Chains A and B, each alone.
Chain A
Amino acid sequence: MTFELFIFYLFSAVTLFSAVAVVTVRNPIYSALFLILAFFSSAAIWILLEAEFLGVVLVLVYVGAVMVLFLFVIMMLDIQIDTLKEGFIRYLPVGILVAVAVATEMILVMRSDAFKVDIPDAAPLSVNNTEALGEVLYTEYVFPFEVASVILVVAIIAAIVLTLRRRTGVKKQDPSKQVRTRSEDRVRLVKMKAEKRL
């Protein structure tokens, strides 16, 4: 067993273990933490596959940004673990049905012809991963790429507009106004004659 194979099995084992733990542990915070571990170790596997750009971006976007927001939300909730466990037997048949359906679908997809390709040779090292991706994105796939970014901008604006509400009568500070104040607006220096001694 080579060193790389050893690392591959190590990270795969960690990924599988943490993916199972995400759905089995009771505390939602632990679930989120195991999800982070799963993302992290799959990023390591991608780096082993010489897709270092994708691996790093997975950590940067999902772990560094998305999961932070997830954790924020979960931390703010007041979670009663007892109520989470309620109704386990009641929902069990539906759960099994969904699990079987997903499993069959995945098996059917994995056995289809689309996955029966030979393992390609490793890419030559002359062009690095990041550069190659960038070139393809901005030449061949420039139109879908731009459409995707426009959709994202629309989504950002929509999210902001949905949550933006202006209430009247709130004593809210405006930092830009506060920063722009000058001493002349606040203090008036008055020159007065000294009082005469009596």
Chain B
Amino acid sequence: MMESLATFLNGYLPEGVTTLIVIMIKIVAILLPLILAVAYTTFAERKIIGYMQVRMGPNRVGPKGWLQPIADTLKLMFKEIISPTKASTIVFFVAPMLALAPALAAWVVIPFWDGGVLADVNAGLLLILAITSLDVFGIILAGWASNSKYAILSSLRVGAQMVSYEIAMGFALVGVLMAAGSLNLSDIVRAQDGGIQNWFAWPLFGLLLVYFISGVAETNRAPFDVAEGESEIVAGFHVEYSGMAFALFFLAEYASMILISTLTALLFLGGWLSPFGDLLNDVPVLGFILGDGFHWLFIKSFFFLFCYLWFRATFPRYRYDQIMRLGWKILIPVTLVWIFGEGVAIALGWKPWL
């Protein structure tokens, strides 16, 4: 469909402009559903945690509360945005954008189905690591620009935490790329072809755990949510933000949560691949659903997203020094040992482990 549109536009416009328009349309096609997903993740969070705690959750706006996220958005949009005096106004308003932009930009290399990717980059995994490492700037700058001691204390905490957990995350990804032999995300998924027993989740189970735990820490979610702390630092780095400026941080947090869930599904659970392999492709009517497709990626990422909410309802928070101990003294050594073992297995040519 995109090709026919491109050829149609080429008749009227110079080639560069056509490329730009087609890319823009694709970006909008990814971002609109993503933002909608973010809005309904907040709703799902409140509902799911509500049911886990035996209460109803939001149920007043719209049927069964389904319009709640829309009402929240409207409320945030019409709220006054206050900027603190004696603060750096430019950095104060650039910071939320810097927090949101990497969380959205990383989706450029995510393959939704076979070939359904905006930019099929060779070094896709590295690109994701690089883009997500920019997340931390939005938070650090927000803390500094607020001219508030609570905000800066929180941003220092978060900054140190995110930089530490990025290392464990990177090592977990090294294990995946060793197993797949490629940095391209589509190739990594294709390397897991052939049913549920070929997924990287089994040989790389330790790395899956390390990756997801660091992902939770990276997005500052419970039980690692030390960015906030009502008794010590109020609302954390965004304590001075109101209205839409605050909403951008909120959006960034949930967009990164969805990103980490999708990445875990792609790297360890075979992304768009069906758990049955090609076995059930010929089943009448249902073959379309049982075969590979976007819906499998959706289900798998939804599972990890559910885990995020589950953790929040289940675990008490970590103390800060214990967070650092977990990252540096447990997760990083685990990944190092695992990568060493994997390297030996690859060097000796032990295929059955994969």
Chain A interface residues toward B at CB < 8 A: 2-3, 6, 27, 29-30, 33, 36, 52-53, 56-57, 59-60, 63-65, 68-69, 71-72, 75, 128-130, 173, 175-176, 178-179
CA distance A176 to B328 in the complex (A): 12
Decide: A75 and B152 in contact? CB cutoff 8 A: yes
- In the assembled complex, B342 has its CB within 8 A of some CB on chain A: no
Asked, given contacts A56-B123, A128-B122, whether A71 binds B133 with beta carbons under 8 Å apart, the answer is no
CA distance A72 to B156 in the complex (A): 7
CA distance A33 to B329 in the complex (A): 32
Looking at the assembled complex, report how far the CB atom of A153 sits from the nearest CB atom of chain B, in whole angstroms.
13
Which residue of the partner chain, among B121, B137, B144, B156, contacts A52 with CB atoms under 8 Å?
B121
Q: Please give me the residue from chain B that is nearest to A40 by CB atom.
A: B134
- In the assembled complex, B30 has its CB within 8 A of some CB on chain A: no
Decide: B123 and A64 in contact? CB cutoff 8 A: no
Decide: A72 and B123 in contact? CB cutoff 8 A: no
Asked, given contacts A33-B91, A75-B152, whether A68 binds B130 with beta carbons under 8 Å apart, the answer is no
Decide: A6 and B123 in contact? CB cutoff 8 A: no
Asked, given contacts A3-B16, A59-B130, whether A68 binds B122 with beta carbons under 8 Å apart, the answer is no
**Chain B window 129-161, contacts with chain A (Cβ cutoff 8 Å), 1 for yes, 0 for no:** 111011011001101100000001000100100
Beyond A57-B130, A175-B321, list 9 extra A-B contacts (CB 8 Å): A27-B88, A56-B123, A59-B134, A63-B130, A68-B159, A128-B123, A129-B122, A176-B325, A179-B325
Decide: A64 and B166 in contact? CB cutoff 8 A: yes
Decide: B140 and A60 in contact? CB cutoff 8 A: no
Q: Please give me the residue from chain A that is nearest to B127 by CB atom.
A: A56
Q: With a 10 A CB-CB cut-off, give which of B134, B152, B325 has the most chain A CB atoms.
A: B134
Looking at the assembled complex, report how far the CB atom of B269 sits from the nearest CB atom of chain A, in whole angstroms.
24
Looking at the assembled complex, report how far the CB atom of B137 sits from the nearest CB atom of chain A, in whole angstroms.
7
CA distance A63 to B129 in the complex (A): 12
CA distance A179 to B324 in the complex (A): 13
Which bracket fits the contact residues of B? 20 to 34
Decide: A68 and B123 in contact? CB cutoff 8 A: no
- In the assembled complex, B59 has its CB within 8 A of some CB on chain A: no
- In the assembled complex, B19 has its CB within 8 A of some CB on chain A: yes
Decide: A53 and B16 in contact? CB cutoff 8 A: no
Decide: B16 and A176 in contact? CB cutoff 8 A: no
CA distance A60 to B173 in the complex (A): 14
Given the complex, which residues of B lie within 8 Å of A30, measured CB to CB? 91
CA distance A90 to B122 in the complex (A): 53
List the 9 closest A-B pairs by CB distance, nearest first.
A64-B133, A3-B16, A59-B130, A128-B122, A60-B130, A56-B126, A175-B325, A56-B130, A175-B322
Decide: A68 and B325 in contact? CB cutoff 8 A: no
Looking at the assembled complex, report how far the CB atom of A43 sits from the nearest CB atom of chain B, in whole angstroms.
8
Given the complex, which residues of B lie within 8 Å of A52, measured CB to CB? 121-123
CA distance A176 to B123 in the complex (A): 38
CA distance A2 to B19 in the complex (A): 12
**Chain B window 185-228, contacts with chain A (Cβ cutoff 8 Å), 1 for yes, 0 for no:** 00000000000000000000000000000000000000000000
Decide: A130 and B133 in contact? CB cutoff 8 A: no
Given the complex, which residues of B lie within 8 Å of A27, measured CB to CB? 88
Complex A-B: 7 CB contacts under 8 Å: A3-B19, A29-B88, A56-B127, A63-B133, A71-B144, A72-B140, A72-B156
